Structure 1
Amino acid sequence: MVVQTTSPAAYKISGRGASQIAASIESGIADGELPPGRALPPIRDLATELGVNPNTVSAAYRLLRDRGAVETAGRRGTRVRMQPATAPRNLSFPIPPGAKDLVTGDPDRRLLPELVFPEGASQRLYSGDMILPDLLDTARARIGAGHVAVDDLLLTFGAGDAIDRALTAHLRTGDLVAVEDPGWGAVYRLLPAMNLTAVPVPIDNEGMTPEGLASALKRGVRAVIITSRAQNPTGAAVSAERAKALRKLLAERRDVLVIEDDHGADITPHHALHTVTGVTEHWAHIRSLSKAYGPDLRCAVVAADGTTGGRMAGRLRLGAGWVSQLIQAQVHRLWTDEAVQAQIVDAARTYTDRRDALITALAARGIKAIGTSGINVWVPVPEEAVVVGGLLAAGWAVAPGAWFRVDSPPGIRITVAQLDLADVEPLADALGRVLTASGSNGSV
């Protein structure tokens, strides 16, 4: 069966059994041939084309719904989810040669410290400690400085892995999870894959709004995922006043699991951590190293309550076992080397200069932009496709807000990690022209 796509060639669904048909559709989604929002063929049409019973196609679609890849939209039929679980972790699109890539959320490779593995480094055997004692002491000092309880620590393979394990430790099929809107797209794809339902909560420059969280708690959410600073995609940072308001609400629902993602800690030293952990019975604070030290380290330190930490560590032992102690030794060196720490401070300052320069340049053109911390700037726009397409034609690739939002208004995400200061004014000019051409007169 041929499905029309935005590419010149159409995607052909194949298979005889339900699993084969579902796998074929998943492959099309993962490759970008079946983009978010694309309608799948009606069940009877696809069954006729493939020469199978309609019940077989129906079973395939049901498998895809259970995996979080598609959704049934009433009379609109079955469509690929806007945030399908089978999509790549980092969404993107073909960027023409010569265009500046401001789509990916990668840090600037030029600002990452060098990884140095000493000769003769010893390898841990199966009976060793899960965490190196030196790293454990250092992690407790760094995370404890933010007033987070550090009695129970574990390591995971990055922030995404930690969120997955924390949710698995407590939640069950069908549970509701409060998430930031706009927020990290990977979480939007993770939840349906776990048969969990996202409840979007509006955010502003100071993080989740108290009104939005209160509404989500009334709906009966079992977990809340909050980014403390360098929020993706808006750059929001939880203020002391906002943390106090959120903690007050959470204290009234002590049964709710609180997951605090502090992935941007080391690149936002000018924003103190105002934690919301510790007021509920179960919580996890996640400190990832990806943005400051490099995504390939695949390491995050997690502080948690005893039950949550024990369940997460126990599940880790049954699966991967432990985070490589070669990586652990590297993390300890990076966190304790004065020269490296000076380099990280410079990197944080560079990201801040780029972000602030862009926001200032856009404001001078009457364009509102949001970006309190981190490496991303969020720009509200009237029509995402028009703005993304117009900027791409002008040589600037930015991310459509649809990748990061559920109910919040349209916008675009500009990652400033690769944006040199010399690029700021030309980019602001280009965005101003695109918005003016779209009828918004340079602002929204």
Structure 2
Amino acid sequence: MLLTRVVRFVIIRGGHFSSVTPHDRGVNSRTAGCDVLDSSALTALIEDPTSHSIAAAVARLIHSGELAPGDRLPTVRELAADLGISPATVSNAWQALSRAGLVVSRGRSGTLVRGAPRDWMPERYRGLDASADAALDLSRGTPDPQLLPALEGSLSRLSPRAETASYQQKPDIPELHDLLRETWPAPVESVTVTNGALDALDRVFGTVLRFGDRVVVENPGFPPIIDLLEHYGVEPVGADVDEHGMRPDSLASALSSHPAAIVLQPRAHNPTGASMTEDRAEALARAIGRVSRGAGPLVIEDDHSGQISSSPDTTLAGLLPERTLHIRSFAKSHGPDLRIGALGGPRALVDRVVSRRMLGAGWTSRMTQRLLFDLLTDDEAVATVARARTEYAARQRALLDALGAHGVRLPESDGLNLWLPVSDERAALVALAAEGIRVAPGEPFQVGTSSPHVRVTVGVLRADVHRVASALATASRAGAE
């Protein structure tokens, strides 16, 4: 590793010079003022004077803590002179670091190491923060706005006045409630509307889990779920995922920790795109224990992309009805700003969630519920969602085929995302940033054992598939010894 070399950095601190080795300086050993990395010290860490190698060397210094937020990089002309290369090469390296969100240009103040992400963001969300610009942003995990149904017609049919007459009204409008029950993947005792999937998860966690409990989660899995569990003082226990979702053998091992619950994504798993088959659901039910009756951990299913998934609607609720809570979100299919989803399962559990919610948010806006009901029953909106489902599947297929042509072969992926193994995560991010492409780092998605990956939001990839595939293939090998 380059950072193991004995190199003494000359850091200019508040107008004074200080000589330190990389290991002398920790993240917390800063003095007041803006520190400046000496150009000649940086050149000793650059093996190959290309824009990619320069950017990678600086990225390693930032991630190791040798460069701290606010430190100033050498000027383009200064480093170019020390390396004997064109200033344009250094400028391209600085631009790649900026696109990767690692540095920020402050005009005459120079190029500075970017500060920590916004403090209001949960820890793993911070690892996904993509505040810097990129020509092609494939990091967000959001649906393509062009594939969402138009709202004008449904909005025009809403009542012009708010309809709530009492704070003690039933929280769900009857039409939507009945439609949800009719389309639920298994017979269900009770259904209630929530403000999206994460709201439902939050309500369930806060209602049924206790401080110190353990909960089995997918590894990799959705970062906010892990953040949310840790917020409640609950310990996440990772169970590995393959092309069909959570692995039964890994779940069986995790069950030895006596968890209070298991959280899984049955379709279009984020980040891998895996979807659970009927055989896998039966195997998981057997691993959990008694299929029909009896004590055991609660199963919480997060079907966040159901209506745009091309996989069958598979659930454990038909096998473990007394202990399965199924969550359905309409954010990916109908728009994140609708903030609406549904929770269904045993009446005793759902009623506890509804009762607790009545003391806080109370209910999901009934106007929003009527808007969703209209979208779910309007022929044009239904056709738009169907076209989106077909288009997302085509984009996945196109990128998988293009990656295969570049020697990167991955299992089938469903929904919006693709999970790409890489040799070195940070090197891959920098290499893609140099191409104007942003993807999400894999580290925030993993709990327990981990391996270098990046998540690619294929759902927003409308064109340039072969160029993107080439860049992804090259980035997957970046940093290899």
TM range (shorter): 0.7 to 0.9
8 Å contact kept, 2:248–2:284: yes
User: 3-state DSSP class of the match of 1:398?
Assistant: strand
Matches within 5 A, 1:29-428: 85-86=122-123, 88=125, 91-97=128-134, 99-115=135-151, 116-117=154-155, 118=158, 120-125=160-165, 126-143=167-184, 146=185, 148-252=186-290, 254-268=295-309, 270-277=310-317, 278-279=319-320, 281-406=322-447, 407-420=449-462, 422-428=463-469
Separation in 2, partners of 1:310, 1:36: 47
Separation in 2, partners of 1:281, 1:320: 27
In the alignment, structure 1 segments of 5+ residues that lack a partner are 11-34, 42-79
User: 3-state DSSP class of the match of 2:264?
Assistant: strand
User: 3-state DSSP class of the match of 2:376?
Assistant: helix
8 Å contact kept, 1:368–1:380: no
After superposition, give the CA deviation of every residue in 1:269-325 in whole Å (9 maximum; x if it has no partner).
Answer: x31122112516432100100000011111111111122101100011111111110
> Which position in structure 2 is the counterpart of 1:58?
none
After superposition, give the CA deviation of every residue in 1:97-146 in whole Å (9 maximum; x if it has no partner).
Answer: 5x200000111111111223235244213243211111111111111xx2
8 Å contact kept, 1:267–1:291: yes
8 Å contact kept, 1:257–1:280: no
Separation in 1, partners of 2:125, 2:348: 32
After superposition, give the CA deviation of every residue in 1:52-71 in whole Å (9 maximum; x if it has no partner).
Answer: xxxxxxxxxxxxxxxxxxxx
Separation in 1, partners of 2:28, 2:150: 46
Structure 1 position 38, deviation (Å)? 7.1
In the alignment, structure 2 segments of 5+ residues that lack a partner are 1-25, 36-61, 69-116
Report the number of matched residues: 367
Separation in 2, partners of 1:358, 1:176: 38
Residues 239 and 312 of structure 1: CA distance in aligned 2, closer, same or farther (over 3 Å) = same
8 Å contact kept, 2:267–2:275: yes
CA-based RMSD of the aligned residues comes to 2.7
After superposition, give the CA deviation of every residue in 1:376-398 in whole Å (9 maximum; x if it has no partner).
Answer: 01111111000111001111101
Structure-2-length-normalised TM-score = 0.71
Structure-1-length-normalised TM-score = 0.77
Aligned AA (2:145) = R
Structure 1 position 364, deviation (Å)? 1.3
Which has the greater radius of gyration?
2
After superposition, give the CA deviation of every residue in 1:189-228 in whole Å (9 maximum; x if it has no partner).
Answer: 1111100000000000100000011011111111000101
**Once superposed, which parts of structure 1, at least 4 consecutive aligned residues long, lie more than 6 Å away?**
35-39
Residues 244 and 291 of structure 1: CA distance in aligned 2, closer, same or farther (over 3 Å) = same
User: 3-state DSSP class of the match of 2:358?
Assistant: helix
Aligned AA (2:248) = P
